[in-house]
Structure 1
Amino acid sequence: MTALKFCANISWLFTELPEFSQRAQAAARAGFQAVEAAWLYDSDPGELRKVTEQTGLEVALINTPPGDLKSGDLGLGAVPGREQDFRQGLALAINFAKTLDCKRIHVMAGRVPAGLQRSATSMEMEATFVQNLRYAADVLAKEGILGLIEPINTRVTDPQYFLDSPHQAAEILQKVDRPNIKLQMDVYHWQIMDGNLTQNIQKYFPLIGHVQVAQVPDRHEPDSPGEVNFPYLFNLLEKLGYQGYVGCEYKPMGSTEAGLDWVRKYWGGKK
């Protein structure tokens, strides 16, 4: 079995440091092979690129722009009437990804528009998402970039987010039918929405292009108190032959550095 590769999400980890480039340096010093981030669009990608070149870090993943956060946006992929904004955001994400030599982009679905019921708009939002993902697939294929869609739980994190379960995501991926659009599995969200992690991981494993982890319910380190047995899940992913990165997208209970014993223990056991 091949050992898992972990990447630090520098939107969540090493936030004791103000700059993404500084957080990336800290991640490299801590032993990570790669970093990922949500939105880098207020920073200079060239500075982060310098760090990755100096340290050998890979930038594993970035998200498409959220849209106007102040107006309630959280991605635009499934939002009817915002197709042009989506395409502009995708182009910006691709430019950043190319600068950073990043080969994965999370294409954010977005929220059910304010004032609308999910049941009343779900069919239109799904059709919009499928259309936008097909467009994204064609554009991303030219750059050798993998597109990803991530279910985000609607019970705790974001009640209005459109894409909220692996089952819904799998149905959408089947309709998109493009080999370079895959499923991003965040264990935190999957556990909250559906549980049944072993069966869901096995069922949807062929679709999975990226993994993220955080303990449930408090979204802290994988070895913090909670519902999920991460040593078991890591072993399951190894047995299934997962080759991608496992993104560490959690809220450290204290300092980031003090909370890394879990990953050092994993690395130590694989040497």
Structure 2
Amino acid sequence: MAPLKFCANISWLFTDLPDFSQRIYAAASAGFQAVEAAWLYESDLQELQRAREATGVEVVLINTPPGDVKTGDLGLGAVPGREAEFRQGLDLALKYAKALDCKRIHLMAGRVPMGSHRPTVAKEMEAIFVQNLNYAADILSKEGITGLIEPINTRITDPRYFLDSPHQAAEILEKVGKSNIKLQMDVFHWQIMDGNLTQNIHKYFPIIGHVQVAQVPGRNEPDSNGELNYSYLFNTLENYNYQGYIGCEYKPLGSTKEGLGWIRDYWIHSK
């Protein structure tokens, strides 16, 4: 079995450094060969390119722009009436992905509009999401890029997020039916919404295109106190011969470097 590959989520790690390009250097210094990030769009693209090239670090995942955060947006993929803005955001994400040689883009679904009742708008939002994902699939396939959709839990993190379970995501992916649109498994969100991780990994492994990890419920390092046994989960992914990256998307309890003992142990034991 090949050892798992980890990437530092520089939207969550090394946040003592204000600039994302600096965080790329810090991730490389800490031993990471890859990074991912949510939104890099306020960073200078040439600086990011220089950092990537100087360190040899691979950029493996970015998100589509969130929309207008000040008015409560968190992605636009399933939001009624925002299709044109979704396409504009996809163009921007594609510009950054191509410049950074990034092969995965998280196509964010977005939130149920304020004042709307989830069951009332669910069918409309799903139809818009499927339409936008089909559009994105065609655009991304020309660049050899995979689009990802990620369920985000509505119990703790974001009560209004539209896409909240792996089951809902799998149904949407089946309706889209494009091989370059896959499922992003954030273990933190899956555990909170559904648990049953062993069976869900088994059921959905063929459509998983990326994995992210954090302990539950604190969303801290995988080896921090919590309800998840990451030794078991990592072994499970090894047994399935998972070839992609695992994003470290967690809140360090102290400094990022001080909290990396778990990954150093894994790297040592996997040699």
Q: Which amino acid aligns with 1:15?
A: T
1:17 corresponds to which letter in structure 2?
Answer: L
Displacement of 1:129 after TM fit?
0.1
1:97 aligned partner: 97
Pairing of 1:116-265 with structure 2 (within 5 A):
116-265=116-265
In the TM superposition, residue 52 of structure 1 has moved relative to its aligned partner by 1.2
Q: Show CA shifts across 1:25-57 (max 9, x none).
A: 010011001000000011112111111111110
CA distance, structure 2, for counterparts of residue 255 and residue 44 of structure 1: 25
1:143 is paired with a residue whose SS is: coil
- Give the TM-score normalised by structure 1: 1.00
Distance in structure 1 (CA, Å) of the matches to 2:73 and 2:180: 25
Distance 2:106 2:237 in 1: 21
Return the alpha-carbon distance in structure 2 between the equivalents of residues 45 and 61 of structure 1: 15
Question: How far did 1:20 drift?
Answer: 0.4
The whole-number CA distance in structure 2 between the counterparts of 1:216 and 1:148 is 23
1:32: which partner in 2? 32
Which consecutive aligned stretches of 4+ in structure 1 deviate over 3 angstroms post-superposition?
Answer: none
1:63 and 2:47 matched: no
Return the letter of the residue paired with 2:34: A
Aligned to 1:269: 269
Q: Which amino acid letter does the alignment assign opposite residue 207 of structure 2?
A: L
The CA distance in 2 between the partners of 1:210 and 1:47, in whole Å, is: 26
| 2:146 alignment partner AA | L
**AA matched with 2:143:** E
TM-score by length of 2: 1.00
Q: Structure 1: which amino acid aligns with 2:259?
A: G
Which string of whole-angstrom CA distances, capped at 9 and with x for unpartnered residues, describes residues 123-182 of structure 1? Answer: 000000000000000000011100000000000000000000000000000000000000
Q: Structure 1, unaligned stretches of length 5 or more?
A: none
Instruction: Provide, for residues 180-238 of structure 1, a one-character-per-residue CA deviation record: whole Å limited to 9, x for no partner.
Output: 00000000000000000000001000000000000000000000000000010000000
The alignment yields a C-alpha RMSD, in angstroms, of 0.4
Task: Quote the offset at 1:65 in angstroms.
Answer: 0.1
Three-state SS of the structure 2 residue aligned to 1:211 is: strand
Count of aligned pairs between the two proteins: 271
Aligned to 1:19: 19
Unmatched tracts of structure 2, length 5 or more: none
Q: Percent same amino acid among aligned pairs?
A: 75
